[in-house]
C-alpha cells in the first residue's frame, strides 16, 4: 500500500509554490514580465516587476498575497519570463499581453470596441475628411478618439459647413463633371470641377487640421480678419461666406455638452464600484470640446478597490490609442509616476496623470463620477432583470438550469438571391455581439429560396466547427466557473450553447434535428419560434422536439424576451444580406473586363452614360470613345454578348 502511495505522489504533477520556487535561481535581478501558466498551457496571470527575482520569491513564500493571486499560484504549473530594459517597457508589454491573452486572474478591459476617428486623407492630391474606424493604415492625419460614430458624423457635418472640405470617395471625385448637391447647399467648395483652386483648397485643409489640433481660437481669428477685409473692399459675397463659416464653428463648440475653458486636450476617467462590479466612465475632450463619453465594466476580482482596477485599466486602454497630454482620474493609482513615464515614452510627448482636488478639473471628474454611478446602477438593474428572464426561459422550455449561452439562428434572402444566415449569441449580460456570426451560403446544391436547406448548411457548418474546436458537448466546461474573479464577461461565454432558438417552424426544427443526429450531438435543447396566426407578434407558436406545439401567455415577460432574441437575429441576418446585396449591386460590369482601368471606364461612362448603355453599343460606337482601340472595343463587345468560341 505504501509503495502504491509513493508511486501516486511521484506521478502527481508539480504545481503551485513548489514549481515557482524551482525557478528563482535562474531569474535576473532586473525588470521584466512574467506569465503564470496552468497544466493545460492556459495563461492564468500576467504581471510585471521591477525585479523579477524578488517578485517570484514573494510568490514562493506566499505571504501577504490576495486571494486572487493565491488561487493563481495554486494552479500554476509553469512560468514564462521576458526581461526588459526598463520598468516602463515592462508596463507597456504587460498591458499588451493582458489584452491579447485575456488571463482569468487579471483585471480585463472588456467591450473594447474600436473607436471612430476623423481622418483627413493624404493619399490623394485633394484631401477628403471622412469617418474612420479600425486599423489606421490609410495615409493621413487622424483626430480622435470620439465616443461614438454619431459624434463623428455630427462633427464632420459641422466641419463641412466651416471648412467646405469634400467627403466623397476618390472614385466619385474623379467622375464628377459638375458640382454635386453638397456644393449647392454650401457644404463643399467643389475642388472636383475647379470651382476652387488646389492651392486655396489646401489652405482650407490646413485650417481644418489646425482647428482639430486644438488651435480653434487662432483659426477663428484668421477667419474673422478675412471677413473684415472682404467687407472693407466691399466684397460682401466673400464676407458672407466667412460669416457662415464662423457660425458653423460656433455651432460645433456650442453643441458638445460640457466645454471646459482651460482644457484643450484631456481624457477624464472616473471609477465607481457597487454590487461587486466596477464601472469606469471615460470622457474625451479635444480642442476644448467634449467628444463624447463611454462606460466600461472591466472584469476584476471583488477584493480590488477602485484605484487598483483603474490603474490596471489605464495601461490596457492606451495600448492602441493616442494619448492626450492630460489624463484626469477620480482615484489615485499605484505607480502613477511610472504610468506617466511609460505613456510619455510611447507617445513621444509629455503626459500628465493627475487626481484634481479643486477647480474646473475637479468638476469634470465629479461629473464623470456621477455618470459612472448612474451607468453602473442601470447595468446592475439590467443584469438582475436578465437573470430573471433566463430563469423563466428555463422553466418554460424545461431546461435543467438558466442558460448561460443562447444561440439564435435566422436566414435572409430575396427570391433566393444573396442568401445569408445569421447567428446571434446572448447570455446573462445580454447580447454578446463579439460572437455573432454570418454565413454566406455557398453550397452549389442549394436551391434558391430553400429555407430548410439554408438552415441545414448553416447549422452543419457551425456545429462541425464547434466539435472540432471545443470537443463534444458533454465535456464542455464553462470558463471562469470558480472564484470571485468570475465576472460574467460580456464577450466571453461557454463554447457550447445551452439553448438553440431557430426562427421557423416544424420544417426548420426538423432540419436542425437531422443535422444534430448526423453530427452525433445529443441532448442539445432546440426550440423553433414560428409566427402565429396572421403573423402577429405575441401569438408565436413554439416547436420543441418531443413536445406538442404550444404558445406562451400574451403578456408573459419570457415571450417578450424570446421576441427580442428573434428580432435581433432577424435584424442581424437581414443586415448581412443587405450588405452582400449592396456590394453585388455596386459592382460595375466594366470592372470585370481586363484592360479597363479607371481612365477608360470614366471615358466610357461619360460617353454612354451607364454601363448598361455600354453593353448595348456596337463595336463602331465603342471605337468612337477616346482611348478605346478596335481591339479593346471588340473585347468589350464580346464581354457583353457572350460570343461563342
| Whole-number pLDDT of residue 253 | 54
CATH topology identical between 15-101 and 266-378: no
Q: Three-state secondary structure along 161-184?
A: HHHCCCCCCHHHHHHCCCCCHHHH
Element housing 637 (H / E) = helix 630-641
Element housing 45 (H / E) = strand 43-49
| Whole-number pLDDT of residue 133 | 83
Indicate the pLDDT class of residue 260, thresholds 50, 70 and 90: low
pLDDT digits (tens, 9 = 90+) for 442-491: 766 666 667 888 888 889 999 999 998 888 876 444 444 333 443 444 44
Residue of 297 and 531 predicted with greater confidence: 297
CATH number, domain 15-101: 3.40.1440.10
pLDDT digits (tens, 9 = 90+) for 158-192: 788 778 889 888 888 888 888 888 888 888 989 99
C-beta neighbour count of 93 within 10 angstroms:
20
312 by Cβ neighbours in 10 Å (0-12 / 13-18 / 19+) ranks as buried
pLDDT digits (tens, 9 = 90+) for 549-592: 888 887 888 888 898 898 898 888 887 767 766 666 556 677 77
What are the residues whose beta carbons fall under 8 Å from the beta carbon of 623, sequence distance 6 or more? Answer: 629, 630, 633
Q: Kindly report whether the global pTM for this prediction surpasses the value 0.85.
A: no
- Tell me the backbone φ, ψ of residue 504, rounded to 5 degrees: 160, 180
Mean pLDDT throughout 119-134?
88
Most confident of 66-70, 424-428, 578-582: 424-428
Residue of 485 and 126 predicted with greater confidence: 126
List the domain boundaries for the chain.
Answer: 15-101, 116-254, 266-378, 397-475+489-584, 589-641
Mean pLDDT throughout 23-36?
88
Say how far residue 575 (Cα) sits from the centre of its chain: 17
Q: How far apart are CA 125 and CA 628, in angstroms?
A: 27
Q: How far apart are CA 131 and CA 154, in angstroms?
A: 11
pLDDT digits (tens, 9 = 90+) for 328-383: 999 998 888 999 999 998 888 899 999 999 888 899 999 999 999 988 888 887 77
> Is a pLDDT exceeding 70 seen at residue 625?
yes
Q: How far apart are CA 292 and CA 277, in angstroms?
A: 23
Fold of the CATH domain 397-475+489-584: Nucleotidyltransferase; domain 5 (3.30.420)
C-beta neighbour count of 153 within 10 angstroms:
13
In the block, which residue shows the cell 455573432?
436
Q: Which residues lie across from 141 on neighbouring strands? A: 120
| Whole-number pLDDT of residue 243 | 77
Cβ 103 vs Cβ 43: under 8 Å: yes
pLDDT digits (tens, 9 = 90+) for 6-29: 434 344 456 678 888 888 888 888
Per-position DSSP letters for 97-140, written without gaps between them: HHHHH--TTS-B--S-PPPEEEEEE-SSSS--EEEEES---SSE
C-beta neighbour count of 359 within 10 angstroms:
9
C-beta neighbour count of 336 within 10 angstroms:
17
Task: Collapse the DSSP code of 485 into the 3-class scheme (helix H, G, I; strand E, B; otherwise coil) and give the result.
Answer: coil
Indicate the pLDDT class of residue 261, thresholds 50, 70 and 90: low
pLDDT digits (tens, 9 = 90+) for 374-416: 888 888 877 778 888 899 999 999 999 999 999 999 887 655 5
Q: How far apart are CA 344 and CA 329, in angstroms?
A: 17
Mean pLDDT, the chain, rounded, equals 81
Mean pLDDT throughout 86-110?
88
| Whole-number pLDDT of residue 485 | 41
> Is a pLDDT exceeding 50 seen at residue 241?
yes
Q: How far apart are CA 185 and CA 180, in angstroms?
A: 9
Fold of the CATH domain 589-641: DNA polymerase; domain 1 (1.10.150)
| Whole-number pLDDT of residue 446 | 61
Most confident of 52-66, 110-124, 354-368, 415-429: 354-368
Q: How far apart are CA 521 and CA 513, in angstroms?
A: 9
Q: How far apart are CA 97 and CA 483, in angstroms?
A: 22
Element housing 526 (H / E) = strand 526-530
**Among the four given CATH numbers 3.40.1000.10, 3.10.20.440, 3.30.420.340, 3.30.70.980, the one describing domain 266-378:** 3.30.420.340
| Whole-number pLDDT of residue 356 | 92
Task: Collapse the DSSP code of 272 into the 3-class scheme (helix H, G, I; strand E, B; otherwise coil) and give the result.
Answer: strand
| Whole-number pLDDT of residue 270 | 94
Indicate the pLDDT class of residue 216, thresholds 50, 70 and 90: low
The radius of gyration computed from the CA coordinates of the chain, to the nearest angstrom, equals 31
Cβ 541 vs Cβ 532: under 8 Å: yes
Cβ 279 vs Cβ 382: under 8 Å: no
Element housing 96 (H / E) = helix 87-101
Amino acid at each position: 500500500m505504501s509503495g502504491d502511495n509513493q508511486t501516486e505522489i511521484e506521478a502527481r504533477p508539480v504545481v503551485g509554490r513548489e514549481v515557482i520556487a524551482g525557478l528563482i535561481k535562474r531569474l535576473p535581478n532586473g525588470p521584466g514580465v512574467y506569465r503564470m501558466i496552468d497544466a493545460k498551457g492556459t495563461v492564468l496571470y500576467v504581471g510585471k516587476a521591477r525585479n523579477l527575482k524578488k517578485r517570484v520569491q514573494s510568490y514562493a513564500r506566499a505571504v501577504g498575497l490576495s486571494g486572487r493571486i493565491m488561487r493563481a499560484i495554486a494552479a500554476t504549473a509553469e512560468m514564462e519570463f521576458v526581461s526588459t530594459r526598463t520598468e516602463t517597457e515592462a508596463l507597456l508589454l504587460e498591458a499588451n499581453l493582458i489584452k491579447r491573452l485575456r488571463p482569468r486572474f487579471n483585471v480585463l478591459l472588456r467591450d473594447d470596441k474600436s473607436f471612430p476617428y476623423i481622418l483627413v486623407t493624404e493619399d490623394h492630391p485633394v484631401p477628403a475628411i471622412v469617418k474612420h474606424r479600425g486599423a489606421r493604415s490609410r495615409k493621413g492625419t487622424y483626430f480622435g478618439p470620439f465616443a461614438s460614430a454619431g459624434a463623428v458624423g455630427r462633427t464632420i457635418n459641422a466641419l463641412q459647413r466651416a471648412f467646405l472640405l469634400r467627403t466623397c470617395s476618390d472614385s466619385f471625385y474623379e467622375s464628377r463633371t459638375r458640382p454635386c448637391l453638397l456644393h449647392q447647399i454650401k457644404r463643399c467648395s467643389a475642388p472636383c470641377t475647379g470651382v476652387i483652386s488646389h492651392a486655396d483648397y489646401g489652405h482650407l485643409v490646413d485650417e481644418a487640421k489646425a482647428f482639430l489640433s486644438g488651435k480653434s481660437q487662432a483659426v477663428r481669428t484668421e477667419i474673422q480678419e478675412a471677413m473684415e477685409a472682404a467687407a472693407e473692399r466691399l466684397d460682401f459675397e466673400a464676407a458672407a461666406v466667412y460669416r457662415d463659416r464662423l457660425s458653423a464653428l460656433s455651432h460645433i463648440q456650442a453643441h458638445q455638452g460640457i466645454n471646459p475653458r482651460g482644457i484643450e486636450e484631456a481624457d477624464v476617467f472616473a471609477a465607481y464600484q457597487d454590487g461587486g462590479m466596477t464601472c469606469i466612465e471615460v470622457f474625451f475632450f479635444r480642442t476644448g470640446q467634449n467628444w463624447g463619453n463611454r462606460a466600461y465594466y472591466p472584469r476584476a476580482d471583488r477584493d480590488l478597490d477602485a484605484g487598483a482596477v483603474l490603474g490596471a485599466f489605464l495601461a490596457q486602454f492606451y495600448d492602441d490609442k493616442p494619448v492626450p497630454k492630460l489624463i484626469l482620474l477620480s482615484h489615485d493609482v499605484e505607480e502613477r509616476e511610472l504610468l506617466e513615464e511609460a505613456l510619455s515614452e510611447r507617445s513621444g510627448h509629455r503626459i500628465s496623470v493627475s487626481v484634481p482636488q479643486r477647480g474646473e478639473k475637479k468638476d469634470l471628474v465629479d461629473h464623470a463620477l456621477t455618470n459612472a454611478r448612474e451607468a453602473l446602477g442601470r447595468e446592475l438593474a439590467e443584469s438582475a432583470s436578465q437573470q430573471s428572464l433566463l430563469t423563466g426561459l428555463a422553466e418554460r422550455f424545461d431546461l435543467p438550469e438558466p442558460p448561460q449561452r443562447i444561440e439564435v439562428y435566422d436566414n435572409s434572402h430575396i427570391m433566393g438571391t444573396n442568401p445569408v444566415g445569421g447567428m446571434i449569441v446572448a447570455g446573462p449580460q445580454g447580447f454578446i455581439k463579439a460572437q455573432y456570426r454570418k454565413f454566406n451560403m455557398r453550397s452549389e446544391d442549394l436551391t434558391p429560396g430553400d429555407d430548410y436547406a439554408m438552415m441545414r448548411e448553416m447549422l452543419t457548418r457551425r456545429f462541425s466547427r464547434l466539435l472540432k474546436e471545443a470537443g463534444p458537448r458533454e465535456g464542455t466546461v464553462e470558463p471562469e466557473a470558480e472564484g470571485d474573479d468570475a465576472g460574467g464577461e460580456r464577450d466571453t461565454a461557454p463554447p457550447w450553447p445551452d439553448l438553440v432558438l431557430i426562427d421557423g417552424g416544424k420544417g426548420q426544427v426538423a432540419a436542425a434535428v437531422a443535422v444534430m443526429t448526423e453530427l452525433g450531438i445529443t441532448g442539445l435543447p432546440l426550440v423553433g419560434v414560428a409566427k402565429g396566426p396572421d403573423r402577429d407578434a405575441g401569438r408565436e407558436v413554439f416547436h420543441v422536439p418531443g413536445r406538442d406545439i404550444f404558445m406562451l401567455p400574451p403578456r408573459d415577460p419570457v415571450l417578450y424576451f424570446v421576441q427580442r432574441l428573434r428580432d435581433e437575429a432577424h435584424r442581424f441576418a437581414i443586415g448581412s444580406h443587405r450588405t452582400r446585396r449592396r456590394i453585388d449591386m455596386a459592382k460595375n460590369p466594366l470592372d470585370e473586363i481586363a484592360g479597363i482601368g479607371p481612365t477608360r471606364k470614366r471615358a466610357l461612362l461619360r460617353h454612354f452614360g451607364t454601363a448598361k448603355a455600354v453593353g448595348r453599343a456596337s463595336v463602331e460606337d465603342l471605337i468612337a470613345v477616346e482611348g478605346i482601340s478596335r481591339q479593346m472595343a471588340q473585347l468589350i463587345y464580346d464581354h457583353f454578348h457572350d460570343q461563342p468560341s
